[in-house]
């Protein structure tokens, strides 16, 4: 069986995996990667430089890839592969508002009963400046919360939605945009603490978290802010600086992530695949 060379980035979060592109689909390799993903949260394949086809096949071997419904530019090849191109370039990006929102800490898919298992980003072109991606370990953040705080929040419910996320920076959206946001990420009630099948728990906070059910609006938002600040302390985080050809895959249910700001003319281009979730947010 192909042995992977694995180097931990820190005891808290992340590992670098070294494997030649032509061994990425070897028998047992995607399965080993899934195990490593569950253990380390973020896997970095430095400058692996794989093709789109290999990215799609790998995503389908780690789990089941969920083809993107939104394409940055509508050519047929992109549609057949189901890759989403993450870019701020107005000539290529269909909905820049979703890309700008990535600059706020979030978990993907909090509007849905089963959020994605993982996201896989491949760097076609790094940003000329900025554009790092940062991750925060939600399992560790929950584990290290004081017992009395856990008791206070364990049964709380939070309403999430894309509208809440985008209103953080876009204060006067058009009605058309608002309707699209509501359609793409409808307001949904979710538990604040996601107790997962493997025994770990994640604090589901971030930009999509609008308010706490049954709590005074300002008081609830203050608590969500306090928890977000707790989860994103430097000791729980890993910040990835992109090099061309890097591939990074992360365990979405256990992490928050964000992109550090970059400009429309930065050249930054990522190819993203999403791996379907396996566990309900409950």
Binding site for Fe ion (CB under 5 A): 108
3 state DSSP class of 168: coil
Query: How far apart are alpha carbons 114 and 160 in whole angstroms?
Result: 13
Q: Please say which residue, 119 or 266, places its beta carbon nearer to Fe ion.
A: 119
Minimum gap (Å) between residue 118 Cβ and Fe ion: 11
Dump strand ranges (E) for 37-87.
42-45, 65-66, 84-87
Residue with smaller CB distance to Fe ion, 106 or 211 = 106
Cβ distance to Fe ion smaller for residue 108 or 210: 108
Q: Which is nearer to Fe ion, 108 or 124 (CB)?
A: 108
Can you tell me the distance from the alpha carbon of 88 to that of 173, in angstroms, rounded to the nearest whole number?
Answer: 18
Rounded distance between C-alpha atoms, residue 128 and residue 268, angstroms: 7
DSSP assignment, residue 261? Answer: P
3-state secondary structure (DSSP) of residue 159 = strand
Query: Minimum distance from CB of 3 to Fe ion (Å)?
Result: 32
CB of 7 to Fe ion, least distance (A): 25
Nearer to Fe ion, 105 or 220 (CB): 105
Angle between the 52-62 and 29-40 helix axes, to the nearest 10 degrees?
A: 70
CB-nearer residue toward Fe ion: 108 or 246: 108
Report the residue closest to Fe ion, judged by CB. Answer: 108
The least distance separating Fe ion from the CB of residue 257, rounded to whole angstroms, comes to 6
- Going across the sheet that includes 209-212, the strands are 188-191, 157-160, 209-212
Smallest gap from Cβ 155 to Fe ion, in A, equals: 27
C-alpha pair distances (Å), 223 with each of 111, 214, 217: 20, 13, 10
**258 pairs with which residues across the strands?**
134
| 40 C-beta neighbours (distance < 10 Å), count | 24
> What is the nearest approach in angstroms of Fe ion to the Cβ of residue 102?
5
């Amino acid at each position: 069986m192909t042995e992977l060379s694995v180097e931990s980035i820190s005891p808290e979060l992340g590992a670098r995996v070294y494997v030649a592109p032509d061994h990425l689909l070897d028998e047992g390799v995607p399965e080993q990667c899934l195990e490593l993903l569950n253990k380390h949260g973020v896997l970095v394949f430095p400058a692996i430089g794989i093709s789109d086809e290999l990215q799609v096949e790998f995503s389908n071997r780690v789990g089941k890839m969920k083809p993107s419904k939104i394409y940055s530019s509508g050519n047929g090849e992109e549609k057949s592969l189901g890759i989403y191109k993450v870019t701020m370039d107005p000539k290529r990006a269909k909905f820049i508002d979703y890309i700008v929102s990535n600059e706020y800490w979030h978990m993907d898919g909090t509007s849905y009963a089963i959020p994605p298992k993982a996201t896989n980003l491949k760097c076609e072109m790094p940003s000329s400046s900025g554009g790092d991606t940062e991750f925060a370990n939600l399992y560790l953040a929950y584990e290290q919360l004081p017992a009395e705080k856990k008791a206070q929040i364990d049964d709380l419910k939070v309403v999430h939605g894309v509208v809440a996320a985008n209103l953080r920076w876009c204060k006067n959206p058009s009605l058309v945009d608002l309707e699209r946001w509501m359609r793409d990420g409808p307001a949904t009630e979710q538990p604040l603490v996601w107790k997962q099948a493997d025994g770990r728990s994640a604090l589901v906070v971030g930009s999509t978290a609008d308010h706490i059910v049954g709590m005074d609006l300002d008081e609830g938002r203050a608590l969500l802010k306090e928890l977000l600040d707790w989860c994103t302390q430097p000791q729980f985080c890993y910040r990835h600086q992109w090099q061309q050809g890097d591939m990074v895959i992360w365990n979405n249910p256990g992490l928050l992530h964000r992109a550090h700001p970059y400009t429309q003319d930065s050249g930054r281009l990522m190819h993203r695949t999403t791996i379907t979730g396996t566990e309900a947010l409950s």
